[in-house]
Chain A
Amino acid sequence: METLLVIVVVVLAIAALTQAVRIFEISSQIKGTDTDVKVDDRDNNTQGWLMFLFLIFFFGAFAWMIIEYMEVTLPISASEHGVAIDSLWDISMAVIILAFLVTQPLLFGFAFMFRGRKSRKATYMEHNNKLELFWTGIPAVILAGLILYGLTTWSNVMNPEQDEEPMIVELYAKQFGWQARYAGSDNQLGYANVRLIEGANILGVDQGDAASANDVITSELHLPAGKPVKFVFRSQDVIHSAYMPHFRMQMNCVPGTQTQFQITPTVTTAEMRSNPEVIEKVKRVNALRAERGEDPWEFDYVLLCNKICGSAHYNMQMKIVVESEEDFENWMKDQQTFAEMM
């Protein structure tokens, strides 16, 4: 039935278009000109005005989106380095939005102003070295600033100060879930390799390595606020990407090798839940969920997979809890060590 409907609509559409073209053709025959193919002053005028109207519509829509959609974007950074990334983001955004707001009106404005007329003659100009130097120079100077600022930030994020020894946590990815392995009291991870995976030893940790005994494997990631933590990433099968949007952290997990990223979480889950932006977001989300008859949601940090990894890629997640050091220690006490597990 639907297929039939689709066919009917397509046939009707083609018929309508044919008729429309015929009308254009006939009217151009009556007028004795080629109005159906040739562009005349009237077209230039209409299309020029449309260009101008589009500009207004475009900027109106842009403003509307900022008002309506900015609220869905991520809240304040929950990590130390994320704050630096966010200020770089804000400044870069300011620069590009400014460039956007200057160049689009020039483009559509000129299109409108110089819409063709029979009486008009275009001005012959080939080039203007001063002008060209000017608009090569301006972007170059602005870019130099952005590059310097960007590289400094990048260098600080990638090589954080080591005045406190970071806690080592391995994040282990496989289709389609995450596991965390804490290095334990010695803060040293036992050697591990996928080839050692057997039975309960799901991460392939070497039982012969003394450092492995007090490792702790969990399926929820708990982190103490204010303490640096160095993540080490491994993957068991394909490339995954550990993405913690609230912490401005992302690193690929690559089979056959290890990657790492150090962060310092600063905002506990409880604090983030009482952030006004987050309260608003939770309200919005829960209103929608209530409509669909789903359970209300409570805000939690989350680790997502952000590299295509197979059928359940869209649902590869792990809950993250940031808490006080005391709460963290208490939680850790309740966990089994690797030695106990085996």
Chain B
Amino acid sequence: MEAHAHHKETFITKYVFSQDHKMIAKQFLITGMIMGIIGVGMSLLFRLQLAWPDKEWPILEALLGKWGTDGIMDPNIYLALVTIHGTIMVFFVLTAGLSGTFSNLLIPLQIGARDMASGFINMLSYWFFFASSVVMLISLFVENGPASAGWTVYPPLSALPQAVPGSGAGMTLWLVSMSLFIVSSLLGALNYIVTVLNLRTKGMSMTRLPLTIWAFFVTAILGVLSFPVLFSAALLLIFDRSFGTSFYLSDILVAGEQLTNQGGSPILYQHLFWFLGHPEVYIILLPALGISSEVISTNSRKPIFGYRAMVGSILAIAFLSFIVWGHHMFVTGMNPFLGSVFTFTTLLIAIPSAVKAFNYITTLWKGNLQFTPGMMFSIGLVSTFITGGLTGLILGDSALDINVHDTYFVVAHFHIVMGLSAIFGLFAGVYHWFPKMFGRRMNKNLGYVHFWITFISAYGVFFPMHFLGMAGLPRRYYTNTAFPMFDDLANINVLVSYFAIIGGIAQVIFIFNFFYSALRGKKAEQNPWRSNTLEWTTPVEHIHGNWPGEIPEVHRWPYDYSKPGMDEDFVPQTVPLGPNEEGGGH
């Protein structure tokens, strides 16, 4: 590693094919942001359609071309937009953008390592992600449009181009892109696991790890165990689509054509998909929870309340996430007994989740709260995590799920608990570790404006959707006008779209603040938040190998904030225990 620092760096090795985890983190973040702009932009387009289905929007014709003739959106492109919006947000923004950025940035820095276990594999992980993003974007431009069977791409719809035009070349590219994505994700996750297990500095026992690292570590394990199953699902789908096999297809007559496929089951795909799909929810959520644990503790100037319970609940959630996938399939005709089992395991997740929520709230109690923008977003995260998590008690209950399955109630639930919480975690992380990433500070006032507009409009978009769902409105409807019983939902849809547009446009503030601060922001000091963790002992200027001299030794856990008997309200992990000081079992 020492030799590494003396390597001559060219532009290519420093900024493009970099093997430095800090640069790779920035690459993930910026690619994720670009994908995020595209994903959110798509949602604004279909919000226009949902709120004002009869209105002509020149912008739709400009952006969608033949699918937006005269400013009216084509039903097929509507389905494509919701599909790609979901795919991009779930995988490219909230999996790669969030985990890729912060696992890469923080794992070596917070455990005291010079870099990831394998810098080369880490680089590959990014470039597979990049390739996957490019293929996904290319799929937007094929003749029959991108994949449009929903982000879960259930066959037979996704397998048959006759059933929906997007299931032609668009779907092929979707599968290629996702396969590349899975490779990226596995390479990254293996690296994270190996690094956390092997490269911790002296004194950094597992119980002294910051909760961020615990979250990234467990997330990586989830990814390694579940993404291969998605890959097998995708592989079988590729076979069905291209080589005439019948894994998922049987007895089908579509567009006047009898297919020869016999004996397959579309439900098999759903089992494989959701065996990844449900852990995926926690692959998205856990890093956000880890980030908020760190940000809330630092800015409350207090130890995170119940460190061991927090670690325990991360592990419990991770374990349970593997035995609940069936709750996405309550109405597929599965054996009712199986439904009971999945209801039971699903509702159990509420217990570790409640523990986490209460521990966050108690961390605030008697703190000395510093409302940095990162802290604001972390508090926002706890709020949405609770609000969205609670409706999980409805949807996880098979009997109740019957009538709201696939309605807007579900859309409201998962956007709040997973979408908003994770995106708030992402924002919190960016605001908090921006000084570490770029050596400069972000403007806090723009941060506040960004937070409040985003927070209020986010609830404004998704809270009313509960009522749409309780009115029986199915999701993925191009328009609600085909059913008079939904006519009186029109004004709710308009309100939702207004909030979506406001919230979407407000992100310009963030993007501006991000790039302006990265280039011209005020220079950061070494430890701007007066934080305990190791990353703040590295110099502001990035160097290969992170620490100029020896890697520091760790003597305590990361949460000694406002410890009685200390001069300062923080005690970095590198400070040895005093003669009469208690280690607190860490």
Of B96-104, B488-496, B532-540, which binds chain A? B488-496
Q: Which one of B267, B343, B348 lies within 8 Å of A254 (CB-CB)? A: B267
Contact across chains for A254 and B305 when beta carbons are under 8 A apart: no
**Cross-chain contact A21 with B446 (CB below 8 angstroms):** yes
Contact among A115, A136, A308 with B150 in the assembled complex (CB-CB below 8 Å): A308
Q: What per-residue 1/0 map shows which CB atoms of B73-84 lie under 8 Å from chain A?
A: 001100100000
A306 to B59, CA, bound (A): 30
- Shortest Cβ distance from B294 into chain A, in angstroms? 16
B470 & A73 in contact (Cβ 8 Å cutoff): yes
Cβ of B498 within 8 Å of any chain A Cβ, yes or no, is no
Chain A contacts of B264 at CB under 8 A?
256
A311 touching B76, Cβ below 8 Å: yes
**Are the C-beta atoms of A312 and B467 separated by less than 8 Å?**
no
* Known contacts A69-B492, A104-B387, A175-B254, A122 near B561 by CB under 8 Å: yes
Task: Tell me whether A147 and B343 are in contact (CB under 8 A).
Answer: yes
A211 at the interface (CB under 8 A from B): no
Which residue from A37, A93, A128, A238 sits with its C-beta under 8 Å from B254?
Answer: A238
Q: Are B512 and A302 in contact (CB under 8 A)?
A: no
Contact B370–A69 (Cβ < 8 Å): no
Question: Are A288 and B347 closer than 8 Å at their CB atoms?
Answer: no
The reply to whether A124 and B393 contact each other, CB–CB distance below 8 Å, is no
Beta-carbon contacts under 8 Å, A29-51 to B:
34, 36-39, 43-44, 47-48, 50-51
Tell me how far the C-beta of A204 lies from the nearest C-beta in chain B, rounded to whole angstroms.
Answer: 8
Report B18 CB to chain A, min CB distance, Å.
28
Q: Give the distance to chain B from A80, nearest Cβ to Cβ, in Å.
A: 14
User: Is the CB–CB distance between A284 and B488 below 8 Å?
Assistant: yes
Question: Which of A36, A106, A289, A308 has most B Cβ within 10 Å?
Answer: A308
Query: Any chain B CB within 8 A of the CB of A314?
Result: yes
* A305-340 interface bits toward B, Cβ cutoff 8 Å, 1 = contact, 0 = none: 111111111110100000000000000000000000
Pair A250/B405 contact, Cβ less than 8 Å: yes
Dominant secondary structure of chain A at its interface with chain B: helix
Instruction: Return the contact of A285 from the options B58, B303, B485 (Cβ within 8 A).
Output: B485
Of chain B, the residue at the smallest CB distance from A44 is: B371
Write the A121-151 contact mask toward B (1 if CB under 8 angstroms, else 0): 1111111100110011001100100110011
The reply to whether the CB of A13 lies closer than 8 angstroms to some CB of chain B is yes
| B478–A314 CB distance below 8 A | yes
Contact: A310 with B307, CB < 8 Å? Answer: no
CB of A187 within 8 A of chain B? no
Assess whether B577 is interfacial by the CB under 8 Å rule.
no
Nearest-neighbour CB distance to chain B for A334, whole angstroms, equals 27
Kindly identify, within residues 6 to 20 of chain A, every residue whose CB is under 8 Å from any CB belonging to chain B: 6, 10, 13-14, 17-18, 20
Collect the chain A residues with CB atoms within 8 Å of residue B516's CB: 17-18, 21
- Cα distance A20–B446 in the bound complex, in angstroms: 9
Contact A239 B154 (CB under 8 A): yes
CB pair A193–B467 under 8 Å, yes or no, is: no
Among A152-160, A163-171, A177-185, A216-224, the stretch in contact with B: A152-160
Question: Once bound together, how far apart are the Cα atoms of A42 and B274, in whole Å?
Answer: 48
Tell whether B281 is near chain A: CB-to-CB under 8 Å. Answer: no
A116, B371: Cβ atoms closer than 8 Å? yes
* Residues of B close to A191: CB separation below 8 A: none
Instruction: Flag whether A257 is at the interface (Cβ < 8 A).
Output: yes
Closest chain B residue to A252 by CB distance? B332
Within 8 A of B (CB), among A75-125: 82, 84-85, 88-89, 92-93, 95-96, 99-100, 103-104, 106-108, 110-111, 114-117, 120-125
Q: How far is the CA of A307 from the CA of B480 in the complex (A)?
A: 15
Give the tally of cross-chain contacts (CB within 8 A): 388
Give A239 to B359 CA distance when docked, in angstroms. 43
Query: Are A154 and B343 closer than 8 Å at their CB atoms?
Result: yes
Q: Is the CB of A197 within 8 A of B253?
A: yes
From B343, B464, B476, give the contact of A308 (CB < 8 A): B476
Contact residues in A for B476 (Cβ distance below 8 Å):
308, 313
Assess the B467–A72 pair: CB atoms within 8 A: yes
Chain B CB within 8 A of A260 CB = yes
Residue B194 interfacial (CB < 8 Å):
no
How would residues 550 to 563 of chain B score, 1 for a CB under 8 Å from any chain A CB and 0 otherwise? Answer: 00000000010111
| A3-B62, A92-B397 given; A155·B354 CB < 8 A | no
Measured between beta carbons, the chain A residues less than 8 angstroms from B403 are: 74, 82, 85, 245, 248-250
Residues of B within 8 A of A115 (CB): 369, 371
Size bracket, chain B contacts:
35 or more
Contact A122 B347 (CB under 8 A): no
Total interface residues in chain A, CB < 8 Å: 131
Q: Which of B480-533 contact A (CB under 8 A)?
A: 480, 482-485, 487-490, 492, 508-509, 512-513, 516, 521-522, 528
CB atoms of B562 and A123 under 8 A apart: yes
Contacts of B474 in A (CB 8 A): 243, 304-306
* A287 CB to nearest B CB, Å: 9
CA distance A245 to B408 in the complex (A): 13
Cα–Cα distance between A113 and B358 once the two chains are bound (Å): 17
Within 8 A of A (CB), among B392-408: 393-394, 397-400, 402-403, 405-407
Cβ A308 vs Cβ B303 within 8 A: no
- Is the beta-carbon distance between A147 and B302 smaller than 8 angstroms? no
**CB contact under 8 A between A288 and B488, given known A88-B397, A92-B400, A122-B367:** yes
- Does B340 count as interface, using CB distance less than 8 angstroms? yes
Selecting from B181-189, B234-242, B244-252, the interface stretch reads: B244-252
One of B164, B368, B443, B452 near A311 (C-beta < 8 A): B164
Determine the residue in chain A with the shortest Cβ distance to B560: A124
B357 interface contact, C-beta 8 A? yes
A260 touches B333 (CB 8 A): yes
Tell whether A154 pairs with B398 under 8 Å between CB atoms, given A72-B471, A143-B351, A254-B266.
yes
Among B358, B442, B509, contact of A135 (Cβ-Cβ < 8 Å): B358
B369 touches A48 (CB 8 A): yes
Chain B residues lying within 8 Å of A48, measured Cβ to Cβ, are 369, 371
Q: Mark B291-318, 1 if CB is under 8 A from A, else 0.
A: 0000000001111011111000000000
**Closest residue to A151 on the B side, CB-wise?**
B340
Residues of chain B with a CB closer than 8 A to A89's CB: 394, 400
Chain B residues within 8 Å of A308, by CB: 79, 149-150, 154, 157, 476
Which residues of chain A come closer than 8 Å to B62, judged between CB atoms?
2-3
**Restricting to A277-305, which residues have a CB under 8 Å from any CB of B?**
281, 284-285, 288-289, 297, 299, 302, 304-305
User: B303: which A residues are within 8 A, CB to CB?
Assistant: 124-126
What separation, in Å, do the CA atoms of A191 and B581 have in the docked complex?
80
Least CB separation from B267: chain A residue:
A254
Residue of A nearest to B490 (CB): A288
Contact call A251/B333, Cβ cutoff below 8 A: yes
CB neighbours of A13 from chain B (8 A): 508
Task: Give bound CA distance, A103 to B463, whole Å.
Answer: 17
Q: How far is the CA of A254 from the CA of B251 in the complex (A)?
A: 10
The answer to the question of A236 belonging to the interface, with a C-beta cut-off of 8 Å to chain B, is yes
6 closest A-B pairs by CB: A256-B250, A245-B472, A259-B333, A158-B336, A297-B484, A47-B371
Q: A104-B386, A127-B308, A288-B490 are in contact. List 14 more A-B contacts (CB 8 A).
A: A36-B444, A37-B443, A37-B522, A38-B528, A39-B372, A43-B371, A50-B452, A84-B399, A114-B367, A124-B303, A238-B254, A305-B474, A309-B157, A313-B478
13 example contacts (A-B, Cβ-Cβ < 8 A) are as follows A17-B513, A69-B492, A85-B403, A107-B364, A150-B400, A194-B258, A237-B254, A239-B154, A305-B474, A307-B406, A308-B79, A313-B477, A313-B478
Chain B residues proximal to chain A, CB less than 8 Å: 58-59, 62, 75-76, 79, 149-150, 154, 156-157, 160, 163-164, 249-254, 258, 263-267, 300-303, 305-309, 331-333, 336, 339-340, 343-344, 347-348, 350-351, 354-355, 357-362, 364-372, 376, 379, 382-383, 386-387, 390-391, 393-394, 397-400, 402-403, 405-407, 441-446, 448, 452, 455-456, 459, 463-464, 467-468, 470-472, 474, 476-480, 482-485, 487-490, 492, 508-509, 512-513, 516, 521-522, 528, 559, 561-564, 569, 584
